[in-house]
Amino acid sequence: MSRRLVLLLALTCAVAVGNLYFPQAVGPLIADGLQVRPEAATWVVTATQIGYTCGMVLLAPLGDRIRHRSLLVVLLGLTGVALLGAGCAPSLPPLVAASALVGLTTVAAQVIGPLAAGLTAPDRRGAVLGTLLSGSTAGMLLARTFSGTLGEWLGWRAPYLVAAVVALVLAVVMAYAVPVTVPSESAGRGAYGAFLAEPFRLLRAEPELRRSCLYQAAVFGGFSAVWTSVALLLTGPAYRLGAEAVGLLALVGAVTVVCTPIAGRLVDRYGPGPVNLVTLAAVPVAAAVLAVGARGGGVGLGALTAGTLLLDVAMQSGTVANQSRVYALRPDARSRLNTAYMTCAYLGGTLGSWLGVRAYTGFGWGAVCVLVGVAAAGALACHVRAVRTRRGSGPEAPYRRMHRLDRRPDTTDGAPRCRS
């Protein structure tokens, strides 16, 4: 894994994740351009998210069964074609259908993570995963700005067409830049349906996977609860601000682009456990700071800024620690492990959004902060208990054993490895 390849993969993650978020900024332009109601245009975003959920379950596990380079080329190529179809859609139904296909195929980031973990020595894996996550974060943050600005200048179709060209160019680059890897022997050639059930069997069989899923679901659920409800708070009577304020507040997440590689290096040095301990402890602190935001005014706005910043950094840094632990469990099943992990995280985020809105509408902003703090405190209690009960072998035993014995990129049977 040269630095050039790491940066290329991080760029690909940014593009893939950005494809999920840039339609959010051009919804009103789509409504005007296709002469439909604004609420009808939101089906474009919904279809993209539904397609992504299906792609995460149906396609991302194939990284264990198909050579990563071939899979990435096909996925990026299909994404480019789907984006091209969306940009040329004559009406809303074809646009919704093309958007669902975009979401289904733009799971490159979920393929790249296991690929990079297999090509990277364990003592550098955290840093590499942190860099990839920085790319994904940058894509999420910049996608809305890119599409909104370009859409205002050239119309809503322009962001889709530009994104299509970028995806197709990356597909060509991937064909030459990504090393050839050997598919996992444990993935077999059995029935596809049985193969898709493997992530859930791994979830049942691997306690360390369940633990990582619990941590991420709890923290991402709190993260989603905050960002779903903060728009209601800022536009409500306490602040009476516009939607632009929510976008400006979201820009504080740009700090995580710098923080996640640092968190990755800390994981490489100390292991995932200590990093999880710090990040899980930071979330209740962030919830307490966010609670001050209910006061309104300059003090409240400052508290919201500081609290969301701390929450973003804790969530993203915890992600690096969790993924490092998960990828160390089964080198031959990293894509399936990642599918189980990401599915649990996504479900946690969905539940957090649902609970956050209901907590806010029923009891106010303080209830949202209590929800965030309780979820993180529960995960923190589980982590402390795991550390105490497994102090002899250590809660990070699989991670530490791999880190100690394998100082080179994985070469075990079934693990991704370069072909010379």
User: Tell me: the pLDDT tens digits for 160-173?
Assistant: 999 999 999 999 99
Residue 410 clears pLDDT 60, i.e. is over it = no
Q: Which helix (H) or strand (E) holds 233?
A: helix 207-235
Would you state the structure tokens that stand for residue 275, as one six-digit string?
């990093």
State the average pLDDT over residues 134-155.
83
Residue 408 clears pLDDT 80, i.e. is over it = no
What type of residue sits at position 321?
A
Q: What is the DSSP string of 338-358?
A: HHHHHHHHHHHHHHHHHHHHH
Contacts of 246 (CB under 8 A, 6+ apart): 230, 231, 234, 235
Give all domains of the chain, ordered by start, each with its CATH number: 1-180 (1.20.1250.20), 191-406 (1.20.1250.20)
State the average pLDDT over residues 350-372.
90
Greater confidence (99 vs 398) lies with 99
Confidence of residue 417 (pLDDT cuts 50, 70, 90): very low
Task: Residue 88: count other Cβ atoms within 10 Å of its Cβ.
Answer: 14
Query: What is the model's pLDDT at position 282?
Result: 96
Decide if 328 contacts 286 (C-beta within 8 A).
no
Query: What is the model's pLDDT at position 245?
Result: 67
State the average pLDDT over residues 319-348.
90
Query: What is the model's pLDDT at position 242?
Result: 66
Would you state the structure tokens that stand for residue 344, as one six-digit string?
């649990």
Q: What is the tens place of the pLDDT at every residue in 182-215?
A: 776 666 666 788 888 888 899 999 999 999 999 9
Greater confidence (414 vs 40) lies with 40
Q: How many CA atoms lie within 13 A of 263 on its CB side?
A: 33
The helix/strand/coil state of 416 is coil
Q: Which of 33-37, 82-86, 248-252, 362-366 has the lowest mean pLDDT?
A: 248-252
Query: What is the model's pLDDT at position 414?
Result: 41
Question: Which phi and psi angles does 181 have, rounded to 5°?
Answer: -115, 155
The helix/strand/coil state of 181 is strand
Task: Residue 159: count other Cβ atoms within 10 Å of its Cβ.
Answer: 27
Q: What is the tens place of the pLDDT at every residue in 53-68?
A: 899 889 989 888 888 8
Query: What is the model's pLDDT at position 311?
Result: 93
> Considering the chain, what percentage of its residues have pLDDT values greater than 70?
89
Rg of the chain's alpha carbons, rounded to an integer? 21
Contacts of 237 (CB under 8 A, 6+ apart): none
Query: What is the model's pLDDT at position 218?
Result: 95
Between CA 337 and CA 84 the distance in angstroms is 32
Q: Is residue 404 classed exposed, middle or buried when 0-12, 13-18 and 19+ CB atoms within 10 A define those classes?
A: exposed
Between CA 361 and CA 182 the distance in angstroms is 52
Q: Which of 37-41, 273-277, 371-375 has the lowest mean pLDDT?
A: 37-41
Greater confidence (394 vs 85) lies with 85
What residue has token string 């100690």? 404
Question: Which phi and psi angles does 35 have, rounded to 5°?
Answer: 55, 55
Decide if 274 contacts 396 (C-beta within 8 A).
no
Between CA 101 and CA 262 the distance in angstroms is 35
Residue 138 clears pLDDT 60, i.e. is over it = yes
Between CA 398 and CA 385 the distance in angstroms is 18
Between CA 120 and CA 267 the distance in angstroms is 14
Confidence of residue 77 (pLDDT cuts 50, 70, 90): very high
Residue 41 clears pLDDT 50, i.e. is over it = yes
Q: How many CA atoms lie within 13 A of 116 on its CB side?
A: 32
What residue has token string 């299909």? 78
Residues forming beta bridges with residue 295, ordered by sequence position: none
Residues forming beta bridges with residue 181, ordered by sequence position: 418
Residues forming beta bridges with residue 418, ordered by sequence position: 181
Q: Which of 117-121, 314-318, 399-403 has the lowest mean pLDDT?
A: 399-403
Between CA 83 and CA 103 the distance in angstroms is 10
Of 352, 375, 346, which Cα lies nearest the Cα of 221? 352
Between CA 344 and CA 244 the distance in angstroms is 31
For residue 181, is it left (φ>0), alpha (ψ between -120 and 50) or beta? beta
Cα 333 → chain centroid: 19
State the average pLDDT over residues 248-252.
72
Average pLDDT, whole number, for the chain?
Answer: 84
Residue 39 clears pLDDT 90, i.e. is over it = no
Between CA 212 and CA 324 the distance in angstroms is 10
Confidence of residue 365 (pLDDT cuts 50, 70, 90): very high
What type of residue sits at position 30?
I
Between CA 194 and CA 268 the distance in angstroms is 35
Which range in 2-6, 80-84, 300-304, 392-396 is most confidently predicted, on average pLDDT? 80-84
Query: What is the model's pLDDT at position 72?
Result: 94
Residue 395 clears pLDDT 70, i.e. is over it = no
What type of residue sits at position 300?
G
Query: What is the model's pLDDT at position 244?
Result: 59
Residue 95 clears pLDDT 90, i.e. is over it = yes
Q: Which of 284-293, 359-368, 391-400 has the lowest mean pLDDT?
A: 391-400
Residue 28 clears pLDDT 80, i.e. is over it = no
Query: What is the model's pLDDT at position 391?
Result: 63
Q: Write down the pTM of the prediction.
A: 0.81
Decide if 83 contacts 104 (C-beta within 8 A).
no
Residue 392 clears pLDDT 70, i.e. is over it = no
What type of residue sits at position 340?
A
Between CA 229 and CA 310 the distance in angstroms is 17
Sign of CA dihedral 115, 117, 121, 124: positive
What residue has token string 């409500």? 236
Residue 416 clears pLDDT 80, i.e. is over it = no
